[in-house]
Each structure stands twice: as C-alpha cells, then as structure tokens.
Amino acid sequence: METLVVDHPLVAHKLTTLRDVRTDSPTFRRLADELVTLLAYEATRDVRVTDVTVDTPLAPAHGVRLARPVPLVVPILRAGLGMLDGMTRLLPTAEVGFLGMIRDESTLKAQTYATRLPEDLSGRQCYVLDPMLATGGTLAAAIHFLFDRGARDVTAICLLAAPEGIAYLDEAFRSGDRPIRVVTAALDERLNENGYIVPGLGDAGDRLYGVV
Ligand SMILES: O=P(O)(O)OC[C@H]1O[C@H](OP(=O)(O)OP(=O)(O)O)[C@H](O)[C@@H]1O
Ligand SMILES: O=c1cc[nH]c(=O)[nH]1
Ligand SMILES: [Mg+2]
C-alpha cells in the first residue's frame, strides 16, 4: 500500500483551521471542500488519459483528455459527502457511486446501510472519499465492495489518517495483486480509547452536518 501525506503549506494552513474547535460548521464545510481539491490534485496524478489533437486558432496542438471509462468517485456517507464537490470540481466528468457506512461506536465495527455503485467496475479508476481514516475498518470494507465489483485501481482520499488505520489497511491488502493508495493531509499521532484520531478534529460528520 502506498501512503502519500501531502506536504504543502496551503494544506497545512487549511487543516489547522479545520482542526480548531472554534471553527463553525459553514467554515468547516468550506475548508473541507478546499482541502479535497488540493489533495485531489495529488491523488489524480496517475489518472488515465488518452492522447488527442485539437486545433488552436493557429495550428494543431497535441494534448490529452481523460480516458474512458471515466473515473468513479465514491464518497462514504455521511462525512464523505462533504468532500464530493471539492473532488468533482477537479474531475467534472467523473461518475459518482455512494456507500453509506456507520461505525458502531461501542465495537468500532463498520456497518453498511446503503450501496449505490455500478455493477461492473473492471477498468475503472476509483477514488474513495472519507475525511477520517481511524481504525481503518470503514475504508477496508469500502475497498472490498469495490474489489468485489472488479475494481483494481483504488485511491482513498482522507483529510486525516491514524497510524493504526494505515497499518490495518496495509495488512488487509498486503497480497499486493490490487494495490491501494491513501492520500491524506496529515498522519496524526494515534487513536484514543474511543477510536478517535488524536489530535484529530473530532467527529467529522458532526462538524459538517451537526450531531444526530
Ligand atoms: O476508520 P474507522 O474506525 O472505521 O472510522 C472512520 C469512520 O468514522 C466516521 O464515520 P461515522 O461512522 O462517524 O459516520 P458519519 O460519517 O455518518 O458521521 C468517518 O467518516 C469514517 O467513515
Ligand atoms: O476521529 C475520528 C474517528 C472516527 N470518526 C470521526 O469522525 N473522527
Ligand atoms: Mg461521524
């Protein structure tokens, strides 16, 4: 598994305000959106393109367009929805699939309550969006859904990751025939006894959408 921690002063600046407990929900949403676009720039470095030629007003110019089938973006509801607009701003022709997952806060196991994905993902590059990679259980389950439908090329974009979650994914997808990538703005210190990332930013879903 490849882990990329995006090292950029603008990413660090926005992440610092996102973490701040005084940041209100509208500002949190805007910063999450802006951060994803910056992370997506790195995460899509290997997006598949095909060569094309266009005519400028002066002469033909060689360039590229996104290859078909277009990438699939998969936000993990609820919190991942806060990353969707920032991602599709960079990849406007991408298609979008949805996974609804919630972590049981007593067992820390992920449960799936909604799936809306294309049946056949063979040949599709998939970008999974979830702000928090804590124990890794949610993301591992999401990637298994995509692999089960034939995906072979999966990149996860997370605002924050815990070392425990990275280690869990590394072990879960160790076989290496379908390598995965995680792109994140920061690798934090640890998980606390409740499975929350420390220092983290708290509950991303609640900070985006309120406590339910
Ligand atoms: O790595 P894990 O230990 O599995 O935890 C991370 C998951 O927990 C959060 O979602 P949550 O279950 O709070 O759902 P929500 O998005 O509806 O708030 C977060 O957005 C991840 O999906
Ligand atoms: O720190 C964490 C861990 C799981 N889910 C969150 O929203 N935050
Ligand atoms: Mg939550």
pLDDT number for residue 175: 81
User: How many CA within 13 A on the CB side of residue 46?
Assistant: 10
Ligand 1 atom closest to the CA of 105, numbered from 1: 12
- C-alpha distances (whole Å) from 107 to each of 103, 113, 148 are 8, 17, 25
Rounded distance from Cα 80 to ligand 2 centre (Å): 12
pLDDT number for residue 153: 96
Cα–Cα nearest to 48, from 2, 7, 98, 94: 94
CA distance 36 to 194: 26
List per-residue pLDDT tens for the chain, 212 residues long: 999 999 999 999 999 999 999 999 999 999 999 999 999 999 999 999 999 999 999 999 999 999 999 999 999 999 999 999 999 999 999 999 999 999 999 999 999 999 999 999 999 999 999 999 999 999 999 999 999 999 999 999 999 999 999 999 999 999 878 889 999 999 999 999 999 999 999 999 999 999 87
131 in contact with ligand 1, CB cutoff 6 A: yes
Please state at what angle helix 9-19 crosses helix 25-43, rounded to 10 degrees: 150
pLDDT number for residue 28: 98
CA distance 203 to 135: 14
Among this protein's residues, is 206 annotated catalytic? Answer: yes
- C-alpha distances (whole Å) from 5 to each of 11, 23, 73, 74, 188 are 10, 23, 20, 20, 11
The amino acid at residue 66 is: L
User: Which of the residues 19, 103, 149, 207 is marked catalytic?
Assistant: 103
CB of 128 within 8 A of CB of 76?
Answer: yes
Q: Which CATH class is domain 2-49+65-205?
A: alpha beta
pLDDT number for residue 55: 98
Token pair recorded at residue 34? 């802006």
Q: What is the ipTM for the molecules in this complex?
A: 0.98
Neighbours of ion ligand 3 (CB under 5 A): 203, 205
